[in-house]
Amino acid sequence: MAPSKKSRSPGPPKSTPPPPIPNSPEQFEAELKALAAKARTETPLNHILEQLTIYLKSSLLLSLIAIFSRVSQLTLSPTYGSIPSAKWHSKLVMAACFVGWSSNLALNRALPFKPEKLLPILAVYVPVAQYFLGEQSEKLTATWGPLITELITLFPIVVISAGCVATYLDGIDLGFLPKWLGEALPGLGSYGFFKGSQKVLGGLVDSYIGKTVWNTRIGMEVALAGGYSAFAPSKLLLWTALPGVLHTAMFNTHAPSPNALERLNKGLEKVGYMVLEREESITGYVSVIDSPKEGYRLMRCDHSLLGGEWTKFIGQPQFKGNQVAEPIYGVFAMLEAVRLVETKKRIKDQDAKALVIGMGIGTTPAALVAHGIDTTVVEIDPVVAKFASKYFQLPSNHTSVIEDAVTYTDRLAADEEGQRYDYIIHDVFTGGAEPIPLFTLEFLQNLNTLLKPNGVVAINYAGDLALPPPRIIVETIKTVFPTCRNFREHPRDDEVFEKTGGDFTNMVIFCTKQAGGSIEFRYPTERDLLNSPSRQHFLMPQHEVKESDFVTSKESEGILRKNETERLVKWHEMSATGHWAIMRTVLPAAIWEAW
């Protein structure tokens, strides 16, 4: 049977295009106007401006993350120290750049708004997250704390920034280049620009830190959040960022304001400490800390101590009229034994000239001045010099030079008619690692040039004798100065050594330029001791460092030259982590965390 007409009908189509609208003079005119407008906008000049805008936006974002990268490290250094803060930093930033660059399309699809709108919000909450994570630093430890903190704070900002830059650069016109080069150039160019920005802008951050409120750690983070807000303004920012802004302004003790310092000291009352003054400077976060209960005062730089003295003895009858304070740490008194070294011709105090590299709180310079020695102190950090004079018993009758010691000694050693010294005291250390340029063969040779033939040098070195650096440093010193003896502050704690394998100590290496002799000390007189119990106990060196104290191989580790400093850098991480743990036993965690 033939199918019915109804069954043969295919039915209506699923979708049918609307019939074309008949052309009309009005429509034709509108199309002509649209084509004309498009032609006017697609001029060579507009094309150039469009391309420049892409490059400008990309450069701004890369510059912002270059600055944020450096500021992030600086903000972690008071809680963890500069070396632990740098352990994972470069790897984390590079990983974030890779993730952001490779996932820019997914990032754009996942969000209902442009990804850059998130940057100001994330930036506002960075100080908040750092503050609360810092309070957990004891649990996080110096090994993992910096990594976890930057994964939560810096990593998302770098990922989104890199993704935005990749999206922007998709619009650049590189048709005049070979295809392979046009595909590779945006990524390679962005990486090169970012690394260059890190070097230049990071250097500027380090040079100007502490100059104004906006050059402080939290000040720069707030300014960066403002920069992101100007780059990607959003109504979303107004209400989402408010809690973060309020916390930083009202509750963050790291903020550089009198109110924040007041809140900080209120919190430290329960652990028996207070911060008298604090500033951020070129060597780190510097503060003066008082312990009213225990009766001593300290100077802190990042996660390290530059020295301390007892304040409870000031004004007591036994110490009335003393020219020097009582140092907390015996090694600083031991440095003064440079005067006790027997020389071929006795050096009279009133005729002597001394050069001190590194001021600290001024313990050693103050003692030299008390003995009537003409003393010059070279200190790189102006804030350290200011606090030493303001809060510690450093007399004003000395010569203070605020300059990098390498530059200063280079210039002075090159001048054959320049000043030469009977005593040189080399006392520099911070953050669990030695400033490597000040222990190179070349720097020590400068000190040798500046030391008179009959003079004595004393070099303070803090390090872990279970690691190679102390042996390398000592061998370098003995290469320059033919006659030396090395003493440590305290004998090795065998129990700690067995438990941890570490032997962190302060050493003082006494040397002369006289070959074939030996270092011998005269017995201190009452005048040498300056009516000081600390000097009675620590002035005379007691615990000589033996060859067996160096746990590493007895074979020569070689010497340190200025173009071979990486030999020591690789050991800094282990040494600094051990030093961090020691500092947490010296002062409560709250002091390191609240700044």
Which of 12-21, 196-205, 498-507, 580-589 is the least confident region? 12-21
More confident residue, 2 or 494: 494
The predicted model gives 136-140 an average pLDDT of 97
Q: Which of 250, 283, 300 is the last residue of a domain?
A: 250
Provide the pLDDT for residue 10: 46
The pLDDT confidence band at residue 493, using thresholds 50, 70 and 90, is confident
Residues 454 and 336 in one domain: yes
Q: Which of 220, 223, 210, 238 is nearest to 117 (CA)?
A: 238
Q: Is residue 380 part of a domain?
A: no
With a pLDDT cut of 70, the percent of the chain lying above it is 91
Residues 344 and 236 in one domain: no
For residue 173, what are its two tokens? 């016109």
Provide the pLDDT for residue 496: 84
Residues 214 and 343 in one domain: no
Residue 435 has pLDDT above 90, yes or no: no
What separation in angstroms does the CA of 284 have from each of 210, 262, 300?
9, 21, 9
Residues 219 and 353 in one domain: no
What separation in angstroms does the CA of 110 have from each of 107, 114, 151, 377?
5, 10, 21, 60
Provide the pLDDT for residue 577: 87
CATH at 559: 3.40.50
Strands of 296-301's sheet, edge to edge? 274-281, 284-291, 296-301, 304-310, 326-327
Provide the pLDDT for residue 283: 92
What separation in angstroms does the CA of 519 have from each of 56, 424, 472?
65, 15, 21
With a pLDDT cut of 90, the percent of the chain lying above it is 71
Which of 96-105, 315-324, 368-377 is the least confident region? 315-324
Q: Is residue 575 part of a domain?
A: yes
Residues 6 or more apart whose Cβ sits within 8 Å of residue 500: 578
The pLDDT confidence band at residue 11, using thresholds 50, 70 and 90, is very low
Residues 335 and 434 in one domain: yes
Q: Is residue 457 part of a domain?
A: yes
Domain count, the chain: 2
Q: Is residue 17 part of a domain?
A: no
Q: Which of 214, 231, 250 is the last residue of a domain?
A: 250
Q: In terms of residue numbers, what domain contains 338?
A: 330-364+401-590
Residue 505 has pLDDT above 80, yes or no: yes
The pLDDT confidence band at residue 32, using thresholds 50, 70 and 90, is low
Based on C-alpha coordinates, what's the Rg of the chain?
A: 32
Residue 431 has pLDDT above 80, yes or no: no
Residue 472 has pLDDT above 50, yes or no: yes
Task: Summarize pLDDT for 533-569 with one digit per residue, the tens.
Answer: 999 999 999 999 988 888 765 556 789 998 888 878 8
Q: Which of 250, 266, 290 is the last residue of a domain?
A: 250
The pLDDT confidence band at residue 33, using thresholds 50, 70 and 90, is low
Provide the pLDDT for residue 551: 75
Q: Is residue 372 part of a domain?
A: no
More confident residue, 299 or 39: 299
CA 329/CA 195 separation, integer angstroms: 42
Q: Is residue 163 part of a domain?
A: yes
The predicted model gives 12-18 an average pLDDT of 50
The pLDDT confidence band at residue 421, using thresholds 50, 70 and 90, is very high
Provide the pLDDT for residue 246: 94
Task: Summarize pLDDT for 181-225 with one digit per residue, the tens.
Answer: 888 899 999 999 999 999 999 999 999 999 999 999 999 999 999
Q: Is residue 36 part of a domain?
A: no
CA 490/CA 502 separation, integer angstroms: 14
Provide the pLDDT for residue 182: 83
How many other CB atoms are found less than 10 A from the CB of residue 389?
A: 17
Residues 108 and 244 in one domain: yes
Which of 62-66, 376-380, 557-561, 582-586 is the least confident region? 557-561
Q: Is residue 344 part of a domain?
A: yes
